[in-house]
Structure 1
């Protein structure tokens, strides 16, 4: 992206057919072990379908909702979702993964902010949690940017590449997000925009027009 060129991306609900596009990400062992605590071996098509079966088979999106991040041309460049949604405790776990070639472009933070809005302003959540491997600086910077606070460190809770790593747990409450949202909305420029649904829907685009909300 150069000059005043505007890059627009969108979130749309993940479909079973998207597995063909995202499967290569789950076959990069080093990258997989950095972002996912539960998977250590490359996934084939059958494994991937089994891994994601709950996301596709659930009768509604009350427990998890996953999206692909894609360009306007339809190229998939990432995944973003709210998982372990609890309607009793009104909380969820947020996860964002962006293809290596697109990292540090601002897409991840905008997708994450959209999920914050979805969780707090649409699903009625009160808390969103995330966690990351202590040496994963991309994830560390992203969750800090959306206003998550470090709430603790689980020592040697993440085994990968022959050694134990610490796992950092972070979280943000609805009231904190609604304050931080205005600050973040002013900080992020509109040269990169991520939308949920129609790309002309300003109410569900990041960065938003704060004055309109």
Structure 2
């Protein structure tokens, strides 16, 4: 990932990572992340193949920031400012005070606790600033790493959705997870 200056307009800051809005300068790093077959192995769509996909995703994220439809953040390394992953709260339900969470981390930065730190920042924000009562996640049944992350964060398994995703013609079962505000203990 390309080193960047730390963004002074970071939305959420932790000890080693900062969550910040995506900007046009992130296109190449975002493409590298979403084009990596290993990172995308259990994702709900095929790896990206074009910089235009990254630019489009950034434009959509920026529009969603303005309307409040979703909060899609770059996970930036605090020391270098490099984009090392992404996380988002999306599919907000005002009536139910709920949202879904998604995340990914570059291979080189896995196993160091960066994702957990980023998710604590994101979930604290969701439960506190956004007054959420519930956060949901869907994960491929075979993505054991992500399942372990969610379990460590306090998410509960709520069921299996058979053949929920079809990616490149392959059917994938997904596991539904939920985390209630009352159960949030990581923040």
In structure 1, the partner of 2:82 is 75
Q: Alpha-carbon deviations, 1:64-123, whole Å to 9, x = none? A: 112111222211111111111222221111112111011121111111111110000111
Q: 1:163 to 1:59 in 2, by over 3 A?
A: closer
Contact 2:98 2:132 in 1 (8 A): yes
Q: Distance in 2 between matches of 1:105 and 1:161?
A: 31
Q: Distance in 2 between matches of 1:84 and 1:160?
A: 21
In structure 2, the partner of 1:130 is 137
Equivalent residue for 1:97, pick from 93, 97, 104: 104
Query: Which has the larger Rg?
Result: 1
Q: Are 2:40 and 1:32 aligned? A: yes
Q: What is the deviation of 1:58?
A: 3.3
Q: Distance in 1 between matches of 2:124 and 2:65?
A: 23
In structure 2, the partner of 1:153 is 160
Aligned Cα root-mean-square deviation (Å): 2.0
> Which is helix-richer, 1 or 2?
1
Q: TM-score, normalised by structure 2?
A: 0.83
Q: What is the deviation of 1:20?
A: 1.6
Q: 1:86 to 1:52 in 2, by over 3 A?
A: farther
Contact 2:76 2:82 in 1 (8 A): yes
Q: 1:151 aligns to what SS in structure 2? A: strand
Unaligned runs of 5+ in 1: 1-6, 186-213
Unaligned runs of 5+ in 2: 1-14
Q: Distance in 2 between matches of 1:150 and 1:101?
A: 28
Say which is worse superposed, 43-52 or 83-92, in terms of deviation. 43-52
Q: Distance in 2 between matches of 1:59 and 1:121?
A: 18
Q: Are 2:163 and 1:120 aligned? A: no
Q: Distance in 1 between matches of 2:65 and 2:140?
A: 32
Q: 1:151 to 1:43 in 2, by over 3 A?
A: same
Q: 1:67 aligns to what SS in structure 2? A: strand
Q: 1:82 to 1:31 in 2, by over 3 A?
A: same
Q: 1:110 to 1:30 in 2, by over 3 A?
A: closer
Q: What is the deviation of 1:160?
A: 4.4
Question: How many residue pairs are counted as aligned between the two chains?
Answer: 172
Q: What is the deviation of 1:30?
A: 4.6
Q: 1:78 to 1:21 in 2, by over 3 A?
A: same
Contact 2:30 2:54 in 1 (8 A): no
